[in-house]
Amino acid sequence: MSAAPLTVIAIITAKEGQEAALRALQEKLVVETRAEDGCLRYELNQSLDDGRILIFVESWETEEKWRAHIDGGALANFAAAGGRELIAERVIHRMALVA
């Protein structure tokens, strides 16, 4: 795996009527994730056009550290709190800086 920083855009669509519940759990996820090793940036944004769409903008020191996050405690806590059941759709984009 490359040692270059990794940028991730995660586009999450809440199930109808679950926007507030999902956002509350995601806000807790942000706090926990920012404390993880290798996390450079972890921001949660909500679409102004469709309140069901919440977008994470992430930067990680390496892809390996991002993968550790995927298997780590913050996401496990999110899942244990029922967060995954509130999601209608999830799209993850791993990206490399071009210019």
Query: Is the pLDDT score of 25 beyond 70?
Result: yes
Query: Is the pLDDT score of 99 beyond 90?
Result: no
> Tokens 């995927």 correspond to what residue?
70
Q: Note the pLDDT of residue 1.
A: 46
Distance from C-alpha of 1 to C-alpha of 23, rounded to nearest angstrom? 32
Render pLDDT for 26-64 as a digit per residue (tens, 0 to 9). 999 999 999 999 999 999 999 999 999 999 999 999 999
pLDDT bracket for residue 3 (50, 70, 90): low
**Domains and their CATH numbers in the chain:** 6-95 (3.30.70.100)
Render pLDDT for 61-82 as a digit per residue (tens, 0 to 9). 999 999 999 999 999 999 999 9
Q: Do residues 29 and 37 make contact, with C-beta atoms less than 8 angstroms apart?
A: no
